[in-house]
A and B are shown apart, each in its own frame.
Chain A
Amino acid sequence: MRPGFFNHLLLISQFELKRAFATPRGLLSMLTFAVVWYFILLYPLRFTADLLVEEKGVIKGFSFFDFIGFHSLQNWTIPEFAVFWHFALILFPLLSIMLAADQTCSDRERGTLRFILLRTSRDCLFFGRFTGMMLIQTLLISAAAFGTLALVLYRDTALFSPALSNLSAVTVNLVLAILPFTAMMAVLSARVKSARQATTWAVLIWTFLAGIISILAYYLPAFSVLKYLVPGYQLSDLAQLSEWRTLQLAHIPLLQSLILLAFGRWIMARQPL
């Protein structure tokens, strides 16, 4: 019996998971990720969290974090997750641009996509690779978040329940935050010839689009609505929110992702392979 759309989606995304976690190249990337997060958790995150804990109620009316513009850190129940949130909001979108850059481009250039396309539709291939990349990143976000949870429990095991709630909030929100970045890389990967080109274009588009829209909005405020087109536009606002309140801006990455995926699908359907 011929498998349906979702079966193909599952098979293709499973194959991408295998690429990330069961091939030497994938394992090397995972090892690098683990080392980077080990040092983030061990030094900046732990020290900042300790500072936040010590500062609470010590000097009334003055806060070092207010002074440096990170007042929002104090709105979190668990300081470790407050710091994790700020680090992750920068690191995971950047990681997404690098990790998701090669969703289809090198396989298309090598001709490998042709072998797959003899057995599945272009839609399944495009969305299957995107889903696979989202699953990989979700696992990485969860791993980093569980590392933070371990750090919290090492300090005080009584914080398990609120820490678990914080962990869920940051994981869900980070997955939402990286959605448009991964979708943008899926679009670029469907069009360009290599992962390097995709990353370069992503940085250029991101920088210039944001710059041009800001200039337009300065002279004609009506154009400020175009800011919604820039992936990650909401990240600075998101950093000011804490815990489940971060979901207030969830509609922005969801809408951006839908638009980008529809565009990517359109390119994929017309692209010679």
Chain B
Amino acid sequence: MKPVIIQCQHLNHVYSGKAALSDLSFELESGEPIGLVGPNGAGKTTLLSILSGFLRPTSGAVRLFGYPPGATQLIGKVSALPQDARLDPSFTIIEQLVFFGRLQGLTTQQANLEANRVLEAVALKESGHEKPLVLSHGMGKRVAIAQALIGKPALVLLDEPTAGLDPVNVRTVRSIIAEQSSGTTFIISSHDLTELDRLCQQILLLEKGVMQSEKIRVKDQQAATRFITLQMEACPALEVMAKFQVLKGVLHVTNPQKNEFIVEYSSDTPVKMDLQLMQCINDNHWHYRQLSHGKTLEEKLFF
């Protein structure tokens, strides 16, 4: 059994009379990255701020590795990328990262090495002697991620790590998380469900300050029915649905968006469903763009 890293019990937070978090109780174990999703105003940033110790909950108990957020025992063990936080414009990036390392208990020499290591991890080693104001938004975000990696913490809370980034930077951030996730548990709050789908094995859904009762497993191998999501080139939707529906083992076919089909089938079907679908597409001279097992995270969470 993996160790529990976060425990929340009856957590509530109220902003000027409005409940931002309502009676949240959950436990999280260390391991693969965990996604935190929910619409705007759902309470994701509030929850991460409480876990990081930036905000005191109105009521309820929170423990990270058995200690309350902000406890000195968590220094170097828990780190975070706070949303929209910026570094001090008066100092160079390397000076600030070294300072953070020193606060975490590293010697000046160790802190220098560590600052260079994390900057290299985010591909910004050459910008270390620049001041934060000269960095672009994407570079600033990567530096903020770099500070979260100082000292190889066991838990990193990332609030919107890819918000406002171009595709190249998004890919860089994704690879940083993938590379570091062997020794670090990441909790990632994001609106980018495709991103979370790729990175996370477990998703927490927050809606109006309430945590949905069950954590969603991204890969559900044990379920009685399975799904295949098909992205097609332009095609006759009604005909496609009708042809798919008569395939052996298919239970239900839906067309949630233009040229996108979700095929629900029985998991004990003896034939390979993906091969059956390919054969059907080929026989009808249609063309497909993408076939993926399971439903998209968006479908799982919101539909």
Where the two chains meet, the residues of A that have a C-beta atom closer than 8 Å to any C-beta of B are 1-3, 8, 11-12, 15, 18-19, 23, 25-26, 107, 110-112, 114-122, 270, 272-273
Contacts and interface: CB of A to CB of B under 8 A. Distances in A.
Nearest to B97: A115
Given A110-B85, A121-B72, A272 B103 contact: no
Contact of A117 (B70, B102, B104): B70
B229 interface: no
B103 A3 contact: yes
Interface string B259-299: 00000000000000000000000000000000000000000
B91 A23 contact: yes
Contact of B105 (A3, A12, A19): A3
A121 B54 CA distance: 11
A131 to B, nearest CB: 15
B202 interface: no
Contact of B84 (A11, A111, A122): A111
Interface stretch (B73-81, B165-173, B180-188, B233-241): B73-81
A120 B103 contact: yes
Given A23-B90, A25-B90, A111 B82 contact: yes
A119 B100 contact: yes
Nearest to B79: A118
Contacts of B100: 115-116, 118-119
A270 B56 contact: yes
B53 interface: yes
A26 B72 CA distance: 31
Given A1-B105, A118-B75, 8 more contacts: A19-B91, A110-B88, A111-B84, A111-B85, A119-B103, A120-B103, A272-B49, A272-B54
B80 A118 contact: yes
A8 B75 CA distance: 12
Contact of B75 (A114, A119, A122): A119
Interface residues of B, number: 32
B147 interface: yes
B65 interface: no
B87 interface: yes
A114 B103 contact: no
Interface in B64-123: 70, 72-73, 75-76, 78-80, 82, 84-88, 90-91, 95-96, 99-100, 102-105
Contacts of A3: 102-103, 105
Contacts of A272: 49, 54-56
Contacts of A273: 54-55
A111 B86 contact: yes
B99 A15 contact: yes
Contact of A2 (B70, B75, B78): B75
Interface string B120-145: 00000000000000000000000010
Contacts, number: 78
Most buried by A among B49, B82, B100: B82
Most buried by A among B54, B76, B80, B87: B54
Contact of B88 (A1, A11, A26, A107): A107
A3 to B, nearest CB: 5
A30 B45 CA distance: 40
B189 interface: no
A189 B91 CA distance: 21
Contact of A122 (B70, B79, B85): B70
15 contacts: A2-B75, A2-B76, A11-B99, A11-B103, A107-B88, A110-B85, A111-B85, A112-B87, A114-B54, A114-B85, A115-B144, A117-B53, A118-B100, A119-B104, A273-B54
Given A115-B82, A117-B53, A118-B79, A8 B103 contact: yes
B165 to A, nearest CB: 18
A122 B70 CA distance: 8
B198 to A, nearest CB: 27
Contacts of A117: 52-54, 70
Contacts of A270: 56
A1 B107 CA distance: 10
A114 B56 contact: no
Contacts of A18: 91, 95
A111 B99 CA distance: 16
Most buried by A among B85, B95, B96: B85
A117 B53 CA distance: 8
A147 to B, nearest CB: 27
A11 B86 contact: no
Nearest to A114: B82
B75 A120 contact: yes
